[in-house]
Amino acid sequence: MASGEIIETIGTTDKTNGGVSRRGFIKGAIASGAAVSSSAYVFREQIGVLAQSPALGAVERLITLNVNGQSRRVDVAKQETLVMTLRYKLGLTGTKIGCDRAECGSCTVLIDGLPHYACSVLTHNVRGRAIQTIEGLERPDGTLHPVQQAVVDEQGFQCAFCMSGFIMSATALLEENPNPTRTQAAEALSGNLCRCADYNKILDSVMRAAEYTRGA
Ligand code: FES
Ligand code: FES
């Protein structure tokens, strides 16, 4: 059973045994990693329990993220990038990995409303921030976001691998400026690359999305 499943299974009961919280013990074990050394613990004679004292540099791995308006508990290694957490821990595969080194924009998500490359953000650094992925754009009733609808209407992409990144960047642009010029739109999307070089149709989509946004 994976460590995340163990937490799901027994982490909900917070019974204490001799003063040691069951949940606290498990969280401490995960925080310090599977190969933790006994030297990472300090024996506190005065209270007669083993206290968790993670080795220097260790971080708590079981954290809560705010993704698409929901609180998500997830087990995250300290060096893990946000795109890996979103895709492989939370199943949000709409966010793509292209270059994995801050060059292509395929992994763009919004953090507190601003576009970021999720391949270059450590997940631990976005605790408490509002993360939005392409899965969070559609309304609960299934209505597409204006940018999504415009992409459908303009058939703005070819292979569409770059699409979710462009849509997230365009969403941030229109939040800030619902009436951009084509040049302003091109500048706002300059951090996103399209290998199919479909830029004219992408810009057509953004300009159509701006119309929809103003209409709404
Ligand atoms: S995958 Fe993140 S910028 Fe290319
Ligand atoms: S449509 Fe193929 S990479 Fe952009």
**How confident is the model at residue 57, as a pLDDT?**
65
Q: Would you state the structure tokens that stand for residue 3, as one six-digit string?
A: 């460590």
CA 17 – ligand 1 centroid, Å? 47
Q: Which atom of ligand 1 lies closest to the CA of 107?
A: 2
Q: Where are the domains of the chain?
A: 3-52, 62-136, 146-215
Is domain 62-136 annotated with CATH 1.10.10.410? Answer: no
**How confident is the model at residue 16, as a pLDDT?**
39
User: pLDDT tens-digit profile of 38-82?
Assistant: 333 333 443 344 445 556 667 789 999 999 999 999 999 999 999
* Predicted model pTM: 0.75
Q: Confidence band (pLDDT; 50, 70, 90) for 113?
A: very high
CA 168 – ligand 2 centroid, Å? 15
Whole-angstrom CA distances from 68 to 28, 43, 53, 55, 172 are 28, 42, 33, 33, 15
Q: What is the mean pLDDT of residues 99-103?
A: 98
Residue nearest to atom 4 of ligand 2 (CA): 194
- CB neighbours of 124 closer than 8 A, spacing ≥ 6? 59, 63, 76, 78, 80
Percent of the chain at pLDDT > 90 equals 71
Is domain 146-215 annotated with CATH 1.10.150.120? Answer: yes
Residue nearest to atom 3 of ligand 1 (CA): 102
Q: Cβ(103) to ligand 1 under 6 A? A: yes
* φ and ψ of 121, to 5 deg: -120, 130
Strands across the sheet containing 108-111: 70-75, 62-67, 130-132, 108-111, 114-117
Residues with CB under 6 A from ligand 2: 157-162, 194-196, 198
Is the model's pLDDT at 2 over the cut of 80? no
